[in-house]
Amino acid sequence: MRKDRKRIGFVIVLLCYSLLVAGMFYFLGYKAAYSRMESSTSAFDTQTFYATISDIQNNTFTVTGMEVNDINFRGRFCFSVAEETKITWRYIDISVEDLDIGDNIAITFTGEILETDPGQIQQVKMIQLLGDEK
What pLDDT, on a 0 to 100 scale, did the predictor assign at position 10? 79
In three-state form (DSSP H/G/I as H, E/B as E, the rest C), the secondary structure along 109-130 is EEEEEECCCCEEEEEEEEEEEC
What pLDDT, on a 0 to 100 scale, did the predictor assign at position 90? 92
pLDDT tens profile 31-67: 565 555 555 545 458 999 999 999 999 999 999 999 9
Residue ranges of the domains in the chain? 1-39, 43-129
pTM of the model: 0.67
43-129 folds as: OB fold (Dihydrolipoamide Acetyltransferase, E2P) (2.40.50)
- How far is residue 115's CA from residue 124's CA, in Å, rounded to a whole number? 16
Where is mean pLDDT largest: 40-44, 69-73, 129-133? 69-73
Q: Indicate the SS3 state at residue 5.
A: helix
Closest CA to 107 of 134, 69, 71: 69
Closest CA to 100 of 49, 132, 51, 53: 53
- For residue 75, the tally of other CB atoms under 10 A from its CB is 15
Kindly give the residue spans of alpha helices, DSSP state H, lying in the chain. Answer: 2-39
What pLDDT, on a 0 to 100 scale, did the predictor assign at position 12? 83
Number of helical H runs and strand E runs in the chain: 1, 7
- Lowest mean per-residue pLDDT among 4-13, 89-98, 110-119: 4-13
